């Protein structure tokens, strides 16, 4: 039997109106945890909480409008471990603050938007009751259209970008359209993806970030080269590398934070990886674990042992024994 290709696109909705006041926030947490993989916090917990949302879903895109009381939603460090790297455009109709590790806060005014990667830890604060339109698409679909988008962007798109308001209006019209049939749904998804790529590419922040991304990549490669060349130095520090590159330590910290790591974690992982490679090499079969630890920048064998367990769940001796 031929599959039915004329069915309308699915619509999902949530309303706190019919939920008792004392259970509304809990119900919303369950909804957002399941649908958006986010946590939620009411900013005025003593006041009745309001939240109503509608969501349309087609292959390649999902979008919808929510009306909410003042609220904070977050992708926490534990949630980003789910591996999702979808991109989400959020367009509030009142002031919103976007907080993410490793960068300055983004302040959105009505009509502005922010493009966020679900692969990043972040917190969105809606300061007052407002409506908010959002669009979610796969990262690969936008990267195909805008090659310099970056692996985990967080980017403000200001209201003076013409395609942004057109995208929101078009998405609003699609919320009321049945979108019956797979062909119609595919066209809708492609239109939303194309318009989002155009809005992103036209934003001044994206153009500036694209240039900065190229420079950041060069900086990170230089940092990695300096670290790898000096792993044996137990006094290796971020300040020393920053001075070599003629930048501030804070600048390098931000570059590493964008990769989801810190200087101490990066150095520890590099040292442990080199120690493991040396332990697994037959050329080092006669060397003691202490001598390898010292060559990799660990002050003593016990420090290597602790780092090894943290990274690999086994001891250096066990790795050598398995070789």
- State whether 24 and 167 are in the same domain: yes
Residues in CB range of 216: below 8 A, 6 or more apart? 255, 258
Which pLDDT tens digit goes with each residue over 27-39? 777 777 777 788 8
CA 125 to chain centre: 16
pTM: 0.63
- State whether 90 and 229 are in the same domain: no
Structurally, the chain folds into a number of domains equal to: 2
Q: What is the pLDDT of residue 215?
A: 64
- State whether 56 and 142 are in the same domain: yes
CA 297 – CA 233 distance, rounded (Å): 5
Partners of 67 in beta bridges: 52, 131
Q: And the tokens for 57?
A: 């879903």
- State whether 252 and 197 are in the same domain: no
Q: What is the four-CA torsion angle of 308, 311, 314, 316, rounded to 10 degrees?
A: -30
The DSSP symbol for 49 reads P
- State whether 53 and 187 are in the same domain: yes
Which strand (E) or helix (H) includes residue 277? helix 263-280
- State whether 217 and 103 are in the same domain: no
Domain-located, residue 269? yes
- State whether 138 and 235 are in the same domain: no
Q: How many residues does the chain have?
A: 323
Which strand (E) or helix (H) includes residue 111? none
Q: What is the pLDDT of residue 208?
A: 66
pLDDT above 90 coverage of the chain, percent: 45
To which residue do tokens 């990170």 refer? 220
With a cut of 90, say whether residue 210 has pLDDT above it. Answer: no
In this prediction, residue 156 has a pLDDT band, given cuts at 50, 70 and 90, of very high
- State whether 217 and 99 are in the same domain: no
- What is the residue range of 109's domain? 11-173+182-202
- State whether 267 and 193 are in the same domain: no
Other residues' Cβ atoms within 10 Å of the Cβ of residue 307: 19
- State whether 88 and 150 are in the same domain: yes
With a cut of 50, say whether residue 1 has pLDDT above it. Answer: no
Q: Show the CA angle centred on residue 104, arms to residues 102 and 108, nearest 5°.
A: 130
Domain-located, residue 162? yes
The backbone region for 140, taken as left when phi is positive above 0, alpha when psi lies in -120 to 50, beta otherwise, is alpha
- State whether 229 and 198 are in the same domain: no
Partners of 106 in beta bridges: 98
CATH of the domain at 307: 1.10.10.60
To which residue do tokens 């202490």 refer? 290
- State whether 21 and 85 are in the same domain: yes
Domain-located, residue 4? no
Q: Which residue from 307, 280, 281 is spatially nearest to 293, judged by alpha carbons? A: 307
CA 65 – CA 134 distance, rounded (Å): 6
HSE-up of 224 (CA within 13 Å, CB side)? 12
Lowest mean pLDDT among 216-225, 247-256, 273-282: 216-225
Residues in CB range of 308: below 8 A, 6 or more apart? 272, 275, 276, 314, 315, 316, 319
Domain-located, residue 161? yes
Which strand (E) or helix (H) includes residue 79? none
């Amino acid at each position: 039997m031929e599959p039915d290709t004329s069915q309308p696109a699915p619509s999902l909705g949530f309303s706190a109106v019919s939920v008792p006041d004392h259970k509304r926030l809990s119900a919303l947490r369950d909804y957002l945890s399941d649908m958006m993989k986010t946590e939620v916090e009411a900013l005025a917990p003593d006041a009745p909480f309001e939240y109503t949302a509608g969501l349309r879903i087609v292959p390649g895109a999902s979008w919808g409008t929510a009306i909410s009381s003042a609220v904070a939603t977050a992708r926490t460090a534990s949630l980003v471990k789910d591996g999702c790297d979808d991109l989400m455009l959020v367009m509030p109709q009142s002031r919103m603050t976007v907080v993410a590790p490793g960068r300055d806060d983004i302040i959105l005014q009505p009509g502005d938007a922010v493009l966020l990667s679900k692969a990043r830890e972040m917190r969105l604060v809606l300061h007052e009751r407002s409506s908010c339109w959002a669009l979610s698409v796969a990262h690969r679909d936008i990267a195909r259209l805008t090659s310099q988008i970056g692996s985990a962007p967080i980017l403000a798109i200001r209201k003076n970008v013409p395609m942004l308001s057109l995208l929101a209006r078009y998405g609003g019209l699609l919320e009321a359209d049945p979108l019956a049939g797979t062909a119609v749904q595919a066209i809708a998804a492609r239109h939303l993806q194309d318009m989002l790529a155009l809005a992103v590419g036209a934003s001044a922040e994206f153009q500036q970030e694209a240039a900065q991304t190229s420079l950041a990549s060069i900086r990170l490669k230089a940092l990695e080269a300096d670290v790898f060349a000096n792993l044996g130095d137990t006094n290796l520090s971020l300040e020393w590398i920053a001075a070599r590159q003629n930048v501030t330590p804070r600048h390098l910290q931000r570059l590493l934070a964008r990769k989801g790591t810190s200087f101490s974690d990066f150095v520890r992982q590099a040292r442990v990886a080199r120690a493991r490679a040396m332990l697994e090499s037959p050329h080092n079969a006669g060397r003691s674990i202490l001598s390898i630890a010292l060559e990799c920048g660990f002050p003593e064998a016990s420090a290597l042992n602790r780092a090894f367990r943290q990274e690999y769940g086994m001891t250096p001796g066990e790795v050598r024994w398995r070789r």
